[in-house]
Amino acid sequence: MAVALQAPGRLAPVRGIRLAACAAGIRYRGRDDLVLIDAGRDAAVAALFTRNAFCAAPVHIAREHLAAGRPRWLLINAGNANAGTGTAGLAASRKTCADLGRILDAPAQSVLPFSTGVIGEPLPVEPIAAALPALAEGLEADGWLAAARAIMTTDTVPKGASRTIALSGGTVTVTGIAKGSGMIHPDMATMLAFIGTDAGLDADLLRQLLTEAVEHSFNAITVDGDTSTNDAVVGIASGASGVTVSPGPDLERLAAALNAVCLELAEAIVRDGEGATKFVRVTVQTARDPHEARRVAEAVALSPLVKTALFASDPNWGRILAAVGRAGVEDLRIGDVGIAVNGVRIVSAGGRAPDYTEEAGQQAFGAAELDIVIDLARGGAGYRKYTCDLSYDYVRINADYRS
C-alpha cells in the first residue's frame, strides 16, 4: 500500500564496495534475510545510531568496533532485533562477528553487526554461522538491490537510490539502501540505512557529511512517533574512484548528492509507512528560530487526530490548528497564523480564511500527497517534516506483527 513508491531499478554499483544476500532462515522462510557488505580495504566508515536507552546488542558492539579501529565488514540480519536480550544478546552479536572474521581471515573488530526485527527474542546464531561461507562467496559489486530486499521487515517495497556526479578529479557515485516502515521517529527514524560512495574521504569528514544529511532526512520523518532500539545509518567512502575530496566546491557537490540520496530514502520510508495511504509534508515557515519551527511541525505530524483525518480525507482543519496551538510556542500571536493545504488557504488571521470552502478543502485533503504549510509570521526560520496518515491497516499490521 506504499504511496507512489515502486521498487528501484538497478542501483549504480559503487567502486570498491561489494554486497551479498542469502537466506539464513532467521525468522522468514523462502526469502533472503542476511546481508554482508564489504566496504573495501581502505574505506572510511562512519555511523550514527539510535538514542534509545534500550539500544540493541548489535548497536553496542558496532559502536565498540567502530571506535576500536578501521572496520571493513558490515553484517546485517532481518527478522530478529537482538534487542532486550541482555548479556546473552551481546555474546551472540560478538559470536557472529567472530565467526565471520574466521571465514574472512579478519579481526572480529573489523565487523560491524546490525539487526532488525522482533525485540526480545534470542538471536539464532547457528543458522547465521551456517550461512556465512556462502554469503562471503557471493559478494559482488552489483548486489545493492538484493541487499535492499533482504533487510526488509514490514516494508512492502525495497528502498534504494543512486546519484552519479562529476567532480574536478573525475566521476563518483553515491548509492544507498534503507529499510523502515513502522516504529519510525527521530532519533534516528527507526530504520537501517547503508550509503556508499567511491569518493575518497577521511572518516571525520565523512561523519560530518553524514550527520548533516541525516538531520534533514532520516531525522525529519515520522510514521508513528516510536523510536526503535536498532536504528543506524552507515556511510562508507571506499576511495576506489581515485578522486579524493576535501573542503571546497567538490565537497559541496558531493554533500548535495549525499543529501539527495538520504532524502529520497527517508521519503521512501514514509511513503511505505505501515498502512499508509497518504504522504504528507508539513512545512513551517516564518518561525522565530529552527527549534520553534521543528516543534510546530512535529506537533502536527505526530497528531493522531490529524493523521486519522488525513486517512479519511476529512478536511477537519481544526485538528491542525489545535496541534499548532499546543506546540509550546511562546507568545504565539494566533491572529498572525496562516495554514494552507495543497495551496488551499484554510486559516488566516487565526480563524477560517474568508475564501475557504468545504469543497476546496475536500479536494485538498482527498489527495494522495499533501503539503501542509504553516506560517507563524514571527521570523525567518523554517523546518519541514515528512509523515503519513494513520489507517486501519497500521493497527492490523502491528497487532499481528509477532503472529
Q: Which residues are catalytic?
A: 190
In angstroms, rounded to a whole number, what is the distance separating the alpha carbons of residues 271 and 218? 13
In angstroms, rounded to a whole number, what is the distance separating the alpha carbons of residues 160 and 14? 13
Grid cell locating 296:
510546530
Helices (H), 193-334: 203-215, 249-271, 290-302, 304-311, 318-325
Cα 292 to Cα 93, 247, 320, 324, 347: the distances in Å are 40, 31, 16, 11, 20
In angstroms, rounded to a whole number, what is the distance separating the alpha carbons of residues 245 and 109? 27
CB count, 10 Å around CB of 243?
Answer: 20
DSSP 74-140: EEEEEEE---S-HHHHHHHHHHHHHHHHHHHT--GGGEEEEEEEETTSPP-HHHHHHHHHHHHHT-B
Partners of residue 171 on adjacent β-strands: 166
Which residue, among 125, 66, 46, has the nearest Cα to 90 in the 3D structure?
125
Angle between helices 290-302 and 304-311 (to 10 degrees): 60
Which residue, among 20, 5, 218, 25, has the nearest Cα to 117 in the 3D structure?
25
Cell 508513528 belongs to residue:
224
CB count, 10 Å around CB of 357?
Answer: 11
Grid cell locating 2:
506504499
- Strand, coil or helix: what is 347? strand
Which residue, among 198, 197, 233, 229, has the nearest Cα to 215 in the 3D structure?
233
In angstroms, rounded to a whole number, what is the distance separating the alpha carbons of residues 3 and 388? 9
Which residue, among 171, 146, 368, 399, has the nearest Cα to 271 in the 3D structure?
368
Count of all residues that appear for the chain in the document: 403
